[in-house]
A and B are shown apart, each in its own frame.
Chain A
Amino acid sequence: QQPVQSPQAVILREGEDAVINCSSSKALYSVHWYRQKHGEAPVFLMILLKGGEQKGHEKISASFNEKKQQSSLYLTASQLSYSGTYFCGTNFGNEKLTFGTGTRLTIIP
């Protein structure tokens, strides 16, 4: 039931855009996105809920396709501070999150 993320890794130049995808084999109630820098705790970015509601940072955008059981995180005009590993956490209507395989993002000047 672990969601699959793609790509596994991506390298961008500062200012470029990226899309990170998260796919589940099971129907989703919500998707939570986190960014984790090396040696630090995961930091909350956004929640996307079934029905279209979103909660999170204004500068980050994401989509949630309930039918396809997928979510995508859109990083535009990337900055050096965006570097890190991105994880999606999926919720199936219960009380826990199941985290994905991770996407490592490297931004170079």
Chain B
Amino acid sequence: GAGVSQSPRYKVTKRGQDVALRCDPISGHVSLYWYRQALGQGPEFLTYFNYEAQQDKSGLPNDRFSAERPEGSISTLTIQRTEQRDSAMYRCASSIGRLAGGRETQYFGPGTRLLVL
């Protein structure tokens, strides 16, 4: 079956512009996670949804970052007034159920490489 998909795969933008990154989780997966991954580093948690409810946004760096999942499926991560330090790989992951206690497997998408000039 289809895995997690993300679009666009690459995004180049100018400083100050807004960008929207899309994640389409595996069909039927209840939980959706956003991560940011720097080169050579492990994924860094940003935020998490259970169905359409944003359960934890403690990893969002500042209020320029926001995310939504209005119908409990596709999610969008929006970065407003982008800065050069926002350049990174943004990855989405989904799991069939809630992670609680770590019982569920997270499946990662291919990521969106964001470059802010």
A residues sitting closer than 8 Å to B (CB atoms) are: 2, 29-32, 34, 40-44, 47, 49-50, 55, 85, 87, 89, 91, 93-102
Contact = CB atoms under 8 A, between A and B. Distances in A.
A43 B91 CA distance: 13
Interface residues of B, number: 28
A42 B108 contact: yes
A61 B107 CA distance: 20
A85 B100 CA distance: 26
Interface in B18-48: 31, 33, 40-45, 48
Contacts of A43: 108
26 contacts: A30-B102, A31-B102, A32-B102, A34-B108, A42-B108, A44-B105, A47-B103, A50-B101, A55-B105, A87-B42, A93-B100, A94-B100, A95-B48, A95-B50, A95-B55, A95-B56, A95-B100, A96-B33, A96-B48, A97-B43, A97-B45, A97-B99, A100-B42, A101-B41, A101-B42, A102-B41
B98 interface: yes
Nearest to B104: A47
Given A95-B100, A96-B99, A44 B43 contact: no
A44 B101 contact: no
Contacts of A102: 40-42
Contacts of B110: 40-41
